[in-house]
Amino acid sequence: MLQLNCPFCGLRDEAEFSCGGEAHIARPLAGNQLNDKDFADYLFLRDNPKGVFLERWRHAAGCRRWFNVARHTVSHEIIETYAMGSLPKSKAARQAYQESWRRKTAAEAASKPAKKGKEGR
């Protein structure tokens, strides 16, 4: 059984948690111009690495709050636990975040508000 370090309650057994799958999937903003193929990247396609994986867990039988975990999918080693809305700090987990194909998707670009400036919108 895994032991996870809930940022709010400390080290607990896996049985207290539920797993929410891949972390850092940003929802495209309303009014986006994505086609169905690009939207599928957000909706269905998933990072499924053999190696460091960034995922969401919830302390379902405890504080019931969500948090992020960086975990290795072969050794099951838990590299880091970090708060929702923040990015990982360890080198391996940061690298996994930056090198993920999702960073380059149109869906992720459409999840950020357009920069004000040149187009004047």
Residues within the interface to another protein (CB under 8 A): 1-2, 14-15, 17-19, 21, 36-37, 39-41, 43-50, 53, 55, 71, 73-76, 101
Q: How far is the CB of 119 from another protein (least distance, A)?
A: 29
Pick between residue 39 and residue 94 the one whose CB is nearest to another protein: 39
Amino acid symbol at 44: F
Contact 34, 106 (CB under 8 A): yes
Pick between residue 18 and residue 98 the one whose CB is nearest to another protein: 18
Distance CA 90, CA 110 (A): 27
Tokens of 66: 């969500």
Contact 78, 68 (CB under 8 A): no
Pick between residue 2 and residue 87 the one whose CB is nearest to another protein: 2
Q: How far is the CB of 25 from another protein (least distance, A)?
A: 12
Tokens of 53: 């994986």
